[in-house]
Amino acid sequence: MEGVWLSDMPLDCNEGAVGDELLQVDLDLDEQALDGFEWNAEGHRYREWLVPASLANRHACVSIVDDTDDSLVNADR
């Protein structure tokens, strides 16, 4: 499958995330619209979705998270 991996919290290399930037993606979609794209992995403390890029591109507002804002980077950790 191809698409954009999204999660409901910041992930790190322990969860397979790679890179030096943290992006915040706000979608103008409700959870019901994303139901078919959710990956349910047992034992994970977060939720994740593999969303088709075409859908994400149409409905996403993306911003780089300031890494000096610990409230965002350390959310739910």
* pLDDT tens digits along 17-55: 888 899 999 999 999 999 999 999 888 899 999 999 999
Is residue 30 in some structural domain? yes
Q: Domain for residue 55, yes or no?
A: yes
When divided into structural domains, the chain yields a total of 1
Cα–Cα distance measured from residue 68 to residue 23, given in angstroms and rounded to the nearest whole number: 14
Residue 67 confidence class, pLDDT cut points 50, 70, 90 = confident
In the Cβ-directed half-sphere of 18, how many Cα atoms lie within 13 Å? 1
Task: Tell me whether residue 16 is in a domain.
Answer: yes
Using the predicted structure, report yes or no on whether residue 9 has a pLDDT greater than 80: yes
Residue 76 belongs to a domain: no
Lowest average pLDDT, out of 11-15, 34-38, 41-45, 68-72, goes to: 68-72
Beta partners for residue 6, in sequence order: 49
Read off the pTM.
Answer: 0.78
**Position 74 in a domain:** no
Range of the structural domain that residue 41 is part of = 4-67
Per DSSP bridges, beta strands 60-64 and 23-27 are: antiparallel
* CA 30 – CA 17 distance, rounded (Å): 25
- 73: in domain: no
